[in-house]
A and B are shown apart, each in its own frame.
Chain A
Amino acid sequence: MSAARTIRGRVVVAGVGETTYYKHGQAPEPETVLALRAILSACEDAGLEPREIDGFASYSNDRNDPSRLAAALGLPELRFSNMQWGGGGGGGSAAVGNAAAAIAAGYADCVVVFRALAQGQFQRFGAAPPAATVSGEAALTFPYGLISPAQRFAMRVMRFLHEHGIRADAQRAIALASYHHAQQNPRAVMYGRPLTADAYDASRFIVEPFRLFDCCLENDGAAALVLVSAERARDLRRPPAYVLGVAQGSEYRNAARGHNAPTYATASFTTVAPRLYAMAGMGPKDVAVVQSYENFTGGVLMSLVEHGFFAAEEANEFLTLDNLIAPGGRLPLNTSGGNLAECYMHGLELQIEAVRQVRGESPNQVPGARVAMVISGPMVTPVSSMILGTADVL
């Protein structure tokens, strides 16, 4: 007899940890130190002895190799070393899913999902890499000045706005919601720096349809989550956040070179989101709060449509600040401030905020939130998304 092919309810996030979040280039310590501090912090939060860790999962080619971390931490044994392949920040939820799958399958018992970034010490994402020549995909785009992530994704968003009659300023409420929530979150890089609609409207274009405030930050720091089985979590001190579902992937030929994806104007979730809901056994109406990766606000807009929170044709009306903020909005969004205003920890700060919401510990708590969604990395491939919940939704 085989077990049901799901991780629903079998694995929990037992603890979360993060360093201070710094402006780009301002981390006072090397990236590896940040990673180690976040991992130890997650263990402390969970009440787990760090030597219980026996696996690591990350994404976007994190520079901190699990074997080095295991040696540095003196782990008795490394049982699981996993890197989600491709998709940059789109791997954030997938990394949690990979860790959960390893625990459910018996490969490992205590797996850390982490991401560390000190971009001041390495190449920035938003600037052109220094290269005199390019080939392959880049040869089709860089010579035309289509180089940065913002430029790569503006093309998809512009098509989506066109197909559905969405005004570019529908993106504004997404930026305002992140900044609004960051004002209640002392950890946020943009704490104490509110954003008004007028300031948004007056901000310069980076690449149309994205204004400055539609674009994520680049920051330094580290974040970690520690996962164990539901059985193991019964002895731990914090309320467990149950993994109800995770899905990753992208549509048919999403990566066809030179912007030739047949299903072009998407955030890449049109096949992923239905699988997520199927595993979790729920639908959009069951989700109390959403953390949706903002590389660019237009990608959030598309992600929310593809996860069924509103139809594309409703975007102009749905996307108001009142609808997107805790505690009473119809769809509280990015309640820590997210990539735009808390910290660009490559999205992993979103998983941590989802855990806080189901624990009832968010600085912008949605009252009684039992189910929280995280959507990772719109418009890349592969993307991923996940649902966490409290024990009483199992």
Chain B
Amino acid sequence: MSAPAYLPVGLPRPVPEPDGLDAPYWEGARAGELRVQRCRRCRTWQWGPEWICHRCLAFDLEWTAVAPRGVIYSWERAWHPVHPALRGHGPYVVVLVELPHAGGVRMIGNLLGDPTAEVRIGTPVEAVFEPHEDAAPPFTLVQWRRSS
């Protein structure tokens, strides 16, 4: 599902790296999939992306769509606007979400909802894909909300 953008437009737009390493992640997000790397040889999960498996050193990583849910591993509430696009916006919450079913890899995103509400580590969350169709090129962020 999609939702309006959590933060104001004007923040730096994500683009895949020139060498293509993380392009499958961003293509997955456009398609409504949360993709992480997994080693074909030793089955180790890996995130962030790298060209080589950190465990068995095979250059043989596949991109696997994982269930877009997790638990809050850490969080912060930002108040000071460090970018012109955030001036006057007020507080917002950034969460670090752990995916226990994918080797415990962690994802950064915003926690949707009231930014002044209490945030608890360990809370289950689910992903919300946030498309930015008007950007050039378009991209999709992976946001999080408390599981219903």
Contacts and interface: CB of A to CB of B under 8 A. Distances in A.
Interface of A: 126-128, 131-148, 150-151, 154-156, 158-159, 162, 204-209, 253, 256-260, 264-265
A147 B17 contact: no
Given A158-B75, A159-B73, A147 B22 contact: no
B121 A144 contact: no
B11 interface: yes
Q: Which 6 A-B pairs have the closest CB atoms?
A: A257-B48, A139-B14, A159-B74, A154-B76, A128-B83, A258-B48
Interface residues of B, number: 41
- Tell which of B76, B86, B141 has the most Cβ of chain A within 10 Å: B76
Contact of B48 (A127, A256, A265): A256
B38 interface: no
A151 B78 contact: yes
B80 A144 contact: no
B37 to A, nearest CB: 11
Nearest to B109: A144
A159 to B, nearest CB: 4
B51 interface: no
Contacts of A260: 47-48, 105-106
Given A139-B14, A207-B78, A257-B50, 10 more contacts: A133-B12, A135-B17, A144-B7, A144-B108, A162-B74, A206-B80, A208-B79, A258-B48, A260-B48, A264-B73
Which of A127, A134, A143, A158 has the most chain B CB atoms inside 10 A of its CB? A143
B96 interface: yes
B27 to A, nearest CB: 13
A134 B107 CA distance: 17
A208 B139 CA distance: 29
Contact of A140 (B82, B86, B91, B108): B108
B65 interface: no
Contacts of B76: 146, 151, 154-155, 158, 207-209
Nearest to B135: A133
